[in-house]
């Protein structure tokens, strides 16, 4: 080893030298190593148990579900003189959720706390005294596109009228999408259009959940814009919003549409008293929440989000590495061993053995790749072991062909002839003189085939042929995501990305090995 003698560099050294020069191949070698390490360490690396819903595991980790699922919305009370007050001071605040199975709200210090419990979107009505406003809640990005009236307000917040005088109330509405609608006619047009949407929307989740508040909800559906005078001896109001002072004193007119209402104080023949609250404004028109029980989007807690059974996708992808690697390595190893042996035998002995083996290879190659694997599964039945076997069967013919070719060339070498002439047994010649020569081809294709094997294996389990569809295996995860999370991006994206990165690493590594070993093999 330590000699300073000059001799021709060993083929392994030249190979290493050439391989080192290929940056892409080196990077992919690193990636392959990293993937293997991750696969082996997955049970210790995974932040959550991949088989159970994460919500069951929060307690053990000291995480409160509420931290994830709630958002606090501040409230502002508009006074008739144009000043604002914090909404927490509003007395007897009542909150009503249109659909409590999606989200519910409760009162806190200076606002409301909204808590998500199911997917979808709904609205929450805040009422205090005569005033009512609402905001929209979207859970898990399941926006139904519905726009609600969030708040009504009068353009002139208060009126001082002389007896007998009349005025037209200018009314405007803020919608949950941030737009403002001004004027009676436009508001009416909007609510009409909205009603049509509401009617066409299938009525779901109605029934046992909230009978007490259904009257309020029913009132909310009252058609059109309604004006109501608190004291008709002071102020009279027409359905078109024309107010007329008919008696002395201070009265109010209440306007309401679709459950949302505001109040306008009207002083007749006397100055206005202390300002009164005229409108309640939620700090947000529309809030987005996460449903902690299903399909959480990616967050710092769950890097890849959670799936339809609320299992941590990141943990599942990590654990799936092991299963996927197992399918890739074991099947290719089986296929390569059988294929190499048959290829050596066919190439070395030639004649009728070669004829039969070649014919067998042709039959196997007559089926397009994945169909052969599917045929094997069809014969053996679904299951991971059978997937491994199926992928192995599909790997065999390629190795037979490759190894047979090089074995036939090596057989003609002088050293083989020499070994034969001194009576070395055939098995020894094959193992010691021919097999090492085929190693380089075998190694290159071994690497390239692992990528393909992983792809085929994942395809088979995607088709549901892997047996256990709840297993944390990338193909099976995608299959489940396709059936259960069709409208969501993250459950399908991450497991697939893992497959792409893994297969790409193996393919690039294979390309690099091939170029370093024998540039002639390049197509």
Q: Can you read off the two tokens belonging to residue 249?
A: 């004193």
- CA dist 498 and 518 (Å) reads 30
- CA dist 483 and 495 (Å) reads 15
The site for other proteins, by CB under 8 A, has a size of 43
What is the nearest approach in angstroms of other proteins to the Cβ of residue 135? 25
> 336-341 long-range CB contacts below 8 Å, 24 or more apart?
336/395, 336/399, 336/442, 336/445, 336/446, 336/449, 338/392, 338/396, 338/399, 339/395, 339/396, 339/397, 339/398, 339/399, 339/400, 339/402, 339/403, 340/399, 340/403, 340/435, 340/438, 340/442
Q: Can you read off the two tokens belonging to residue 448?
A: 């390239």
Report CA torsion sign: 275, 226, 135, 147. Answer: negative
Site for other proteins in 373-412 (CB under 8 A): 374-375, 377-379, 381-382
DSSP state letter for 312: B
Nearer to other proteins, 74 or 382 (CB): 382
Q: How far is CA 375 from the centre of its chain?
A: 33
Residue 117 engages other proteins in binding (rule: CB under 8 A): no
Residue 487 engages other proteins in binding (rule: CB under 8 A): yes
Site for other proteins in 47-106 (CB under 8 A): none
Nearer to other proteins, 312 or 511 (CB): 511
Residue 467 engages other proteins in binding (rule: CB under 8 A): no
Nearer to other proteins, 344 or 450 (CB): 450
What is the nearest approach in angstroms of other proteins to the Cβ of residue 487? 5
Nearer to other proteins, 440 or 459 (CB): 459
What is the nearest approach in angstroms of other proteins to the Cβ of residue 334? 21
By C-alpha distance, which of 321, 370, 367, 282 is closest to 498? Answer: 321
Residue 481 engages other proteins in binding (rule: CB under 8 A): yes
Applying CB under 8 A, which of residues 120, 343, 451, 512 lies at the interface with other proteins? 451
Q: How far is CA 283 from the centre of its chain?
A: 29
Residues 6 or more apart whose CB falls under 8 angstroms from that of 77 comprise 84, 85, 86, 87, 89, 90, 128, 131, 277, 279, 280, 281
What is the nearest approach in angstroms of other proteins to the Cβ of residue 91? 45
Applying CB under 8 A, which of residues 178, 239, 368, 436 lies at the interface with other proteins? 368
- CA dist 193 and 453 (Å) reads 56
Residue 34 engages other proteins in binding (rule: CB under 8 A): no
Nearer to other proteins, 185 or 504 (CB): 504
Site for other proteins in 157-176 (CB under 8 A): none
Nearer to other proteins, 314 or 348 (CB): 314
Site for other proteins in 499-518 (CB under 8 A): 499-500, 503-504, 507-508, 511
Nearer to other proteins, 26 or 65 (CB): 26
Applying CB under 8 A, which of residues 187, 455, 480, 509 lies at the interface with other proteins? 455
CB hemisphere CA count around 90 (13 angstroms): 33
- CA dist 217 and 188 (Å) reads 19
From the list 146-154, 183-191, 366-374, 401-409, the region that binds other proteins by CB under 8 A is 366-374
- CA dist 169 and 227 (Å) reads 10
Residue 478 engages other proteins in binding (rule: CB under 8 A): yes
What is the nearest approach in angstroms of other proteins to the Cβ of residue 379? 6
The residues with which 97 forms a beta bridge, in sequence order, are 124
First-last CA distance in the chain = 38
Q: How far is CA 494 from the centre of its chain?
A: 8
Residue 459 engages other proteins in binding (rule: CB under 8 A): yes
What is the nearest approach in angstroms of other proteins to the Cβ of residue 353? 18
From the list 106-114, 252-260, 262-270, 360-368, the region that binds other proteins by CB under 8 A is 360-368
- Chain residues that interact with other proteins, rule: CB under 8 A: 359, 362-363, 366-371, 374-375, 377-379, 381-382, 451, 455, 458-459, 462-465, 475, 478, 481-482, 486-487, 489, 492-493, 495-496, 499-500, 503-504, 507-508, 511, 523
């Amino acid at each position: 080893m330590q000699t300073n003698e000059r001799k021709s560099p060993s083929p392994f050294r030249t190979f290493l030298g050439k391989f080192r020069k290929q940056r892409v191949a080196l990077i992919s070698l690193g990636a392959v190593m990293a993937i293997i390490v991750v696969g082996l360490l997955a049970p210790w690396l995974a932040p959550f148990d991949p088989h159970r819903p994460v919500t069951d595991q929060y307690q053990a980790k000291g995480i409160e579900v509420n931290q994830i699922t709630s958002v606090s919305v501040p409230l502002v009370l508009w006074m008739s003189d144009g000043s604002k007050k914090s909404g927490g001071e509003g007395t007897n605040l009542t909150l009503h959720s249109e659909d409590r199975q999606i989200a519910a709200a409760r009162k806190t210090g200076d606002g409301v706390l909204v808590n998500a419990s199911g997917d979808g979107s709904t609205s929450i009505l805040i009422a205090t005294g005569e005033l009512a406003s609402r905001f929209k809640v979207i859970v898990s990005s399941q926006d139904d596109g519905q726009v609600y009236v969030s708040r009504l307000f009068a353009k002139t917040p208060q009126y001082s009228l002389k007896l007998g005088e009349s005025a037209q109330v200018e009314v405007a509405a803020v919608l949950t999408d941030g737009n403002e609608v001004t004027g009676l006619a436009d508001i009416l047009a909007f609510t009409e259009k909205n009603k049509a949407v509401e009617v066409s929307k299938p009525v779901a989740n109605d029934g046992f959940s909230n009978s007490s508040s259904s009257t309020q909800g029913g009132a909310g559906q009252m058609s059109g814009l309604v004006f109501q005078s608190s004291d008709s001896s002071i102020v009279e109001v027409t359905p078109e919003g024309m107010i007329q002072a008919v008696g002395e004193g201070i009265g109010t007119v209440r306007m309401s549409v679709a459950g949302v209402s505001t109040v306008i104080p009207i002083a007749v023949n006397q100055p206005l008293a202390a300002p009164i609250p005229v409108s309640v404004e939620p700090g947000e028109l529309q809030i987005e929440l996460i449903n902690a029980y299903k399909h959480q989007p990616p967050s710092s807690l769950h890097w890849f989000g959670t799936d339809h059974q609320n299992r941590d996708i990141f943990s599942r992808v990590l654990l799936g590495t092991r299963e996927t690697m197992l399918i890739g390595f074991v099947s290719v190893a089986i296929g390569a061993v059988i294929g190499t042996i048959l290829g050596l035998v066919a190439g070395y002995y030639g004649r009728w053995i070669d004829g039969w083996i070649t014919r067998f290879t042709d039959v196997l190659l007559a089926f397009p790749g994945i169909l052969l694997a599917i045929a094997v599964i069809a014969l053996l039945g679904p299951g991971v072991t059978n997937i491994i076997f199926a992928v192995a069967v599909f790997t065999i013919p390629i190795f037979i062909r490759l190894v047979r070719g090089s074995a036939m060339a090596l057989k003609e070498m002088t050293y083989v002839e020499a070994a034969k002439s001194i009576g070395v047994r055939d098995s020894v010649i094959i193992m010691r003189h021919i097999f090492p020569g085929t190693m380089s081809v075998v190694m290159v294709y071994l690497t390239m085939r692992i990528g393909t094997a992983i792809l085929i294996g994942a395809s088979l389990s995607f088709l549901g042929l892997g047996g256990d569809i709840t297993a944390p295996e990338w193909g099976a995860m995608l299959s489940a995501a396709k059936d259960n999370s069709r409208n969501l991006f993250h459950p399908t994206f991450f497991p697939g990305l893992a497959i792409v990165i893994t297969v790409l690493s193996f393919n690039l590594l294979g390309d690099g090995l091939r170029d370093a070993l024998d540039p002639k093999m390049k197509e």
